[in-house]
Amino acid sequence: MTTLPSVRRRRSPGIFVVGIRDHCLGFSTFPQRGTERVEIVPGLRIVGCRRAVNIAFAVEAEHVLFLGIFYAGRNITPELLEDRL
């Protein structure tokens, strides 16, 4: 009897993106989450999502301003965010 090598099933990129979108939509319930990183930009918060993505955002009054979604540990610097505020 021949055994077949195990095949790891990959998830669709669309499912990955939908998961990130759903995570972002959850900010309407509780926006004051994540780590505050005022040393980078005043008001900046960063939260991880799906082990490979960081979401940079700021909370202004009753609104969440998403500044970027960064993949694979990208270093988030003031220069990277300066045009986004």
Note the pLDDT of residue 13.
80
17-66 pLDDT per residue, tens:
999 999 999 998 889 999 999 998 889 999 998 788 999 999 988 899 99
Q: Domain limits at 74?
A: 34-85
Q: Does any domain span residue 82?
A: yes
**40 assigned to some structural domain:** yes
Domain-embedded: residue 9: no
Residue 29 counted as domain residue: no
> 59 lies in a domain?
yes
Residue whose tokens read 């780590």: 35
Whether 23 is covered by a domain: the verdict is no
Q: How far does the chain reach from its first CA to its final CA, in angstroms?
A: 62
The separation between CA 29 and the C-alpha centre of its own chain, rounded to angstroms, equals 16
- Residue 31: φ, ψ to 5°: -75, -25
CB contact at 8 A, 20 and 66: no
Q: What is this structure's pTM?
A: 0.77
- When divided into structural domains, the chain yields a total of 1
